[in-house]
Amino acid sequence: MGRIATGLMGIVLAYAATGMIGGSIPANAAWVQPAEGIRIFIEDNGIHTGIVMPVSAAGVEWRGTFPASDLSDPRYANFDHVAVGWGERAFYIETPTWSDLNLAVVGRAAIGSNRTVLHVEHVPAPATGTAVRAIVLTPDQYRRLAAFVRETLGPRGKIAGGYGPDDAFYDARGTYSAVVTCNEWTGRALRHAGVRVGAWTPFPVTVMGWF
């Protein structure tokens, strides 16, 4: 048992080190944030990172994609932003915070799962701080970001209620694993838009550390 535990610890440490290295290598290294444009936010709850986008900007409208009728309290759809994150269904739905962490669920997700979801919350523009960073994109960059999010949506639409009255879970495309985590999805979305961020972003810090 001692050798097994030592081996598992070695794997975890190697994964952590590799992830931090991947997160420190810039993609889109020449990107410069424009002085004016579409303001989005990157948020971090300690486990999951997500992207907060205006409901209507640069020709992109989210109200039709994530309608008020999908919420248990449709009044929250009056807020002017949507916060979107991607992840493994059981991991995401059952682990909103560290206090809800279930190692069995995390372990099964890390091996690989194509049961993925988009988590969408209707929110006001958040205040920036340690857990929320603002980024300005050009309209074209924002449209590329929005296209990436739309391409992640699966065919079944809403599949479950959210954590509260203002959010919901939607069917999503993609396979979750220890390589392609919820935070790597955020990184991929930003890289697709042309934003400077880590080349591989498996952890929250490998996303948030760039902003």
Predicted model pTM: 0.91
Pure H helices in the chain: 2-24, 89-94, 103-111, 139-152, 182-193, 204-208
Q: Helix (H, G, I), strand (E, B), or coil: what is residue 50?
A: strand
Written as one string, the DSSP assignment of 104-128 is HHHHHHHH-B--EEEEEEEEPPPPP
Mean pLDDT across the stretch 85-91?
A: 89
pLDDT digits (tens, 9 = 90+) for 39-65: 999 999 988 899 999 999 999 999 999
Structure token pair of residue 175: 């396979």
Per-residue pLDDT at 7: 59
Q: Is the pLDDT of residue 32 over 70?
A: yes
Per-residue pLDDT at 46: 85
Range of the domain at 130: 2-208
Number of domains in the chain: 1
